[in-house]
Chain A
Amino acid sequence: MFVRLVLLVAVVVSANPVEAHDGIESVGDAWLSFTVSMVMLMVFWFMYCIGARRIPSLIERWLAFNVASVAAILALLIPLGGWVEESSAMHMAQHMLIMVVIIPLYMLARPLPQWVAVGGWPVVWLSKPLLYLSRYPMQAAFMQSVVIWFWHAPKFYNLALASPWWHLLEHICFALSACVFWWSVLNQRTAVTLLALLFTLMHTSMLGALLTFAQIPLYNDSRDFHDQQLAGLIMWVPSGLPYLIAAIWCSLYWFRRISRTLSS
Chain B
Amino acid sequence: MNEITRKDPAALHDDFMKVWGNPRGWRALTIVNHTTIGIRFMVTGGVFFLIGGLLAMLMRTQLALPQQEIIDAELYNQLFTMHGTVMMFLFVVPMLEGLALYLIPKMIGARDLLFPRLSAFGYWCYLFGSIILLSSLLLGVAPNAGWFAYTPLSNAVYSPGPNIDFWLLGITFVEISAVSAGVELIVSILRSRTPGMGLLQMPLFCWYILVMAFMIVFGFPPLILGSILLELERAAGMPFFDIARGGDPILWQHLFWLFGHPEVYIIFLPAAGIVSTLLPVFARRPIVGYRWIVLAVISTGFISFGLWVHHMFTIGIPKLAQAFFSLASMLIAIPTGIQFFAWLATLWTGRPVYHIPMLWLTGFLVIFVAGGLTGIMLAVVPFNWQVHDTHFVVAHLHYVIIGGVVFPLIAGLYYWLPHFSGRMPSDKLARWGFWLTFIGFNTTFLVMHLTGLLGMPRRNYTYEPDLGWDLPNSLSSMGSFVLAMGIAMILLDIILHFRMGRPAGTNPWHADTLEWATSTPPQPYNFISLPDYPTRHPMWRKPDLQTSIAEGCYTLSEIDHGRRETWGSDPITGKIREIIHLPGNSWLPFVTALVLSVLCISLLLRTYDLALAAVAISLILLLRWSWINGAHPGAAPDASVMPDYPPLHSRTFDSPGLWGMIVTLLADGALFLSLLFGWFYLMIIAPHWQVPDVTPLPWLSLLIAGGLLTGAAIWYKRLLQRLREGGWFHLQSQLWGIALVGLVHCCMLIGIWATSALAVTQTAHDAVIAVILMYLIFHSGLAVIMTMLQARRVTYGYVGKTAPYEVAVVEPWWLYTASVFWIGLAAILLLPIAWGGI
A residues near B (Cβ < 8 Å) are 150, 153-156, 158, 191, 194-195, 197-198, 201-203, 205-206, 209-210, 212-216, 218, 225-226, 229-230, 233, 236-237, 240, 243-244, 247-248, 251-252, 255, 258-259, 261-262
Judge if B71 is at the interface, Cβ distance under 8 Å: no
Q: B495 to chain A: closest CB distance in Å?
A: 44
Tell me if A229 and B320 are in contact (CB < 8 A). yes
Within 713-763 of B, Cβ neighbours of A (below 8 Å) are at: none
CB-CB under 8 A from A205, the residues of chain B are: 305-306
A53 and B528 CA atoms in complex are apart in Å by: 64
CB-CB under 8 A from B617, the residues of chain A are: none
Tell me if A233 and B324 are in contact (CB < 8 A). yes
A255 and B573 CA atoms in complex are apart in Å by: 11
Judge if B789 is at the interface, Cβ distance under 8 Å: no
Judge if B796 is at the interface, Cβ distance under 8 Å: no
Q: A188 to chain B: closest CB distance in Å?
A: 13
CB-CB under 8 A from B321, the residues of chain A are: 212, 229, 233
Judge if B365 is at the interface, Cβ distance under 8 Å: no
Tell me if B254 and A209 are in contact (CB < 8 A). yes
A225 and B317 CA atoms in complex are apart in Å by: 12
Judge if B25 is at the interface, Cβ distance under 8 Å: no
Tell me if B198 and A203 are in contact (CB < 8 A). no
CB-CB under 8 A from A210, the residues of chain B are: 680-681, 684-685
Tell me if B684 and A258 are in contact (CB < 8 A). no
Tell me if A255 and B294 are in contact (CB < 8 A). yes
In the complex, what residue of chain B is closest to A226 when comparing beta carbons?
B320
Cβ-neighbour of A261 out of B320, B324, B573 (below 8 A) = B573
CB-CB under 8 A from A255, the residues of chain B are: 200, 291, 294-295
Given contact pairs A155-B835, A212-B321, A261-B572, enumerate 7 new A-B contacts (beta carbons under 8 Å).
A154-B835, A155-B833, A198-B218, A210-B681, A233-B320, A247-B298, A259-B198
Tell me if A247 and B573 are in contact (CB < 8 A). no
Judge if B328 is at the interface, Cβ distance under 8 Å: yes
Q: A69 to chain B: closest CB distance in Å?
A: 29
Judge if B836 is at the interface, Cβ distance under 8 Å: yes
- Decide: A206 near B677, CB < 8 A? Known: A150-B834, A201-B306, A262-B200: yes
Q: B650 to chain A: closest CB distance in Å?
A: 25
- Decide: A198 near B836, CB < 8 A? Known: A153-B831, A210-B685, A255-B200: no
A258 and B303 CA atoms in complex are apart in Å by: 24
Q: B679 to chain A: closest CB distance in Å?
A: 11
Query: What sequence of 0s and 1s flags, for each residue 665-700 of chain B, a beta carbon within 8 Å of any chain A beta carbon?
Result: 010000001000100110011010000000000000
Tell me if A226 and B835 are in contact (CB < 8 A). no
A66 and B677 CA atoms in complex are apart in Å by: 39
- Decide: A237 near B324, CB < 8 A? Known: A154-B836, A202-B673: yes
Within 533-585 of B, Cβ neighbours of A (below 8 Å) are at: 571-573
A243 and B573 CA atoms in complex are apart in Å by: 26
CB-CB under 8 A from B426, the residues of chain A are: none
CB-CB under 8 A from B200, the residues of chain A are: 255, 258-259, 262
CB-CB under 8 A from A218, the residues of chain B are: 684
Overall SS of chain B's interface: helix
Cβ-neighbour of A156 out of B198, B302, B685, B834 (below 8 A) = B834
Q: B688 to chain A: closest CB distance in Å?
A: 11
In the complex, what residue of chain B is closest to A195 when comparing beta carbons?
B666
In the complex, what residue of chain A is closest to B837 when comparing beta carbons?
A155
CB-CB under 8 A from A262, the residues of chain B are: 198, 200-201, 573
- Decide: A153 near B834, CB < 8 A? Known: A201-B305, A247-B299, A255-B200: yes
Q: A80 to chain B: closest CB distance in Å?
A: 26
Q: A84 to chain B: closest CB distance in Å?
A: 20
A244 and B684 CA atoms in complex are apart in Å by: 28
Query: What sequence of 0s and 1s flags, for each residue 286-321 of chain B, a beta carbon within 8 Å of any chain A beta carbon?
Result: 000001001100110011011001000000011011
In the complex, what residue of chain A is closest to B301 when comparing beta carbons?
A198
Cβ-neighbour of B318 out of A158, A216, A229 (below 8 A) = A229
A221 and B291 CA atoms in complex are apart in Å by: 47
CB-CB under 8 A from B834, the residues of chain A are: 150, 153-156
**Which 6 A/B pairs are nearest by Cβ-Cβ distance?**
A153-B834, A262-B198, A237-B324, A229-B318, A154-B836, A233-B324
CB-CB under 8 A from A230, the residues of chain B are: 320
CB-CB under 8 A from B835, the residues of chain A are: 153-155
Residue from A216, A230, A240 having most chain B Cβ neighbours under 10 A? A240
Judge if B205 is at the interface, Cβ distance under 8 Å: no
Tell me if B305 and A236 are in contact (CB < 8 A). no
Tell me if A258 and B305 are in contact (CB < 8 A). no
Judge if B516 is at the interface, Cβ distance under 8 Å: no
Cβ-neighbour of B199 out of A153, A201, A214, A258 (below 8 A) = A258
A261 and B574 CA atoms in complex are apart in Å by: 11
Within 361-416 of B, Cβ neighbours of A (below 8 Å) are at: none
Cβ-neighbour of B298 out of A158, A243, A251 (below 8 A) = A251
For this complex, 25 residue pairs linking A to B, each with C-beta atoms less than 8 Å apart, are: A153-B831, A154-B838, A155-B835, A156-B834, A158-B836, A191-B571, A194-B298, A202-B305, A212-B317, A212-B321, A214-B684, A225-B318, A230-B320, A236-B306, A237-B306, A237-B324, A237-B325, A237-B327, A244-B303, A248-B295, A248-B299, A251-B294, A258-B199, A258-B200, A259-B200
Tell me if A244 and B302 are in contact (CB < 8 A). yes
Tell me if A252 and B303 are in contact (CB < 8 A). no
Q: B337 to chain A: closest CB distance in Å?
A: 14
CB-CB under 8 A from A258, the residues of chain B are: 198-200, 572-573
Q: B251 to chain A: closest CB distance in Å?
A: 10
A244 and B198 CA atoms in complex are apart in Å by: 25
Tell me if A198 and B305 are in contact (CB < 8 A). yes
In the complex, what residue of chain A is closest to B572 when comparing beta carbons?
A258
CB-CB under 8 A from A226, the residues of chain B are: 318, 320
Query: What sequence of 0s and 1s flags, for each residue 196-211 of chain B, a beta carbon within 8 Å of any chain A beta carbon?
Result: 0011110000000000
CB-CB under 8 A from B309, the residues of chain A are: 209
